[in-house]
Structure 1
């Protein structure tokens, strides 16, 4: 277990403050990570409460098992499986998206270009294809599409061609250092203060874990499992995630009038948008990784 790697939970108090409802309620931490939000929830909740924690990472599940709290139920699976929970059974649902600090800082996980390690990037190391395995056979067009769509990288085609050329000349790329060096050679201009490999690593991680597709499934599931009055709290760390969350909440909380039927009764909306929260200056100063975080909050309505 990665005990040497630390993690500072972003927006810890604001997230739990917005999430809290009945002290004996049922809450879902859809991304346990290293348990910061779950621990705070358990500290505040009463003895009859229940917290259901999801995580694909077996190391995270091992940490969760170590808490030894009878109120905590663990699911070693994607949060898309929240749809299997009973309808209208949850008082609060928290999703803290992205990758945790221990995952980034552990070279063996392959998430970061700052350390040399195997090119893996799977959230769940017990199943699925690694990035290295995918790159062995992926075509230039497929690689470019992933880098462009999930990394918003304007040099996506150049990077894809460089990967294919390297593969043909010397065999598949197997390490993070190899990939980072190759991307640096293909990216012609660099954003100030940002490593040229940042967008490509993000893109491959999102793709190999189907993160955006599973986020959409989880958001849809939230409408089914939240009780009336229940809270949805989602913390995002990049624009692709936040755009999906923002558009979902807007679509489920905004009146749409049909001009063809101007006097029709308003449609009941399933969510009420409670706004967004950014980390304070003090939090960002103490934890620079919080800088890009955006938390959006919504509440399940009685009628929707």
Structure 2
């Protein structure tokens, strides 16, 4: 078994197979992270091939900028801006494959200062881009108890959301307690309510706060719809989800376009690239879970589910 899973791309072999890579094709890695998947995709491309990577995290963008390859371009920003980035690169309706490796990257979780890990003590931040938005610490200080409870239920499916939110609010608003400023303090508070049972007691709460702070589910909804604007016929979306909320959104997206429909005018505007008379549909090619060997070598892959979705036009 490997000592660390920080250098392992989840479902790497399955991703390459699912993308069905054309040697001279155009691909977008919407979640660059440490670049493991991006480097694998580049290894499959010839000189005429092209890979665009996107990441909102400045740390990941810095890693990407070290790749000296004329076939590769990194974009700093939200992956929901995929159409904007594709237009900048003149690849609208030319994209053969889009990769979405969702959730948290190992760049983020391995750096205690980022505040994503409930196993390491660090600043309670949780922003994927620390330069924008509000940190988890700031939000927990300002939020009403009911708001915290709602977030824990909605994004973490936390059964003890009321008790946890009550305790968090008490610590941040009572003179008798020290305000929560670091991950260890938050974990200790959650552990007063939740006991260890299969999962770490803080798993659901940390997931919920992170999803809320980074607006992850809304971003996922947008990227899925925006992908329809840039894919070439028979292009593929390869999406790796890590929890039921992501998985449900992807499943509903596929269902929405499971039979041929006329493209919404809001998505496609009449021009040379996009014709409103076109009908599109999505076909689920397969669903893949990691093998036992990969789970042992890479614990992050344990809850992952890869879906391969193909774009059809007529």
**TM-score scaled by structure 1?**
0.90
Q: Is the 8 A contact 1:253 1:269 kept in 2?
A: no
Q: State the SS of the aligned residue for 1:193.
A: coil
Match of 1:186 in 2: 193
Match of 1:272 in 2: 283
Residues 93-108 of structure 1: pairs in structure 2 closer than 5 A: 93-108=98-113
Match of 2:77 in 1: 77
What is the CA-CA distance between 1:272 and the residue it aligns to? 1.3
What is the distance in 1 between the residues matched to 2:260 and 2:120?
49
What is the CA-CA distance between 1:40 and the residue it aligns to? 0.6
Match of 2:299 in 1: 288
- Does 1:127 find its partner at 2:138? no
What is the distance in 2 between the residues matched to 1:172 and 1:77?
32
What is the CA-CA distance between 1:269 and the residue it aligns to? 4.1
Match of 1:150 in 2: 155
What is the distance in 2 between the residues matched to 1:67 and 1:291?
29
RMSD (CA atoms): 1.8
What is the CA-CA distance between 1:247 and the residue it aligns to? 1.3
Give the aligned length: 288
1:224-246 deviations in Å (ceiling 9; x for gaps) = 11010101100011111111111
Gaps of 5+ in 1: 257-266
- Does 1:239 find its partner at 2:240? no
Match of 2:232 in 1: 227
Match of 2:272 in 1: none
1:173-213 deviations in Å (ceiling 9; x for gaps) = 110001001111123xx462211111000000000000000
What is the CA-CA distance between 1:171 and the residue it aligns to? 4.9
Q: Is the 8 A contact 2:5 2:298 kept in 1?
A: no
Q: Is the 8 A contact 2:260 2:281 kept in 1?
A: no
1:144-173 deviations in Å (ceiling 9; x for gaps) = 010000000011111111011111223531
What is the distance in 2 between the residues matched to 1:7 and 1:204?
26
Match of 1:259 in 2: none
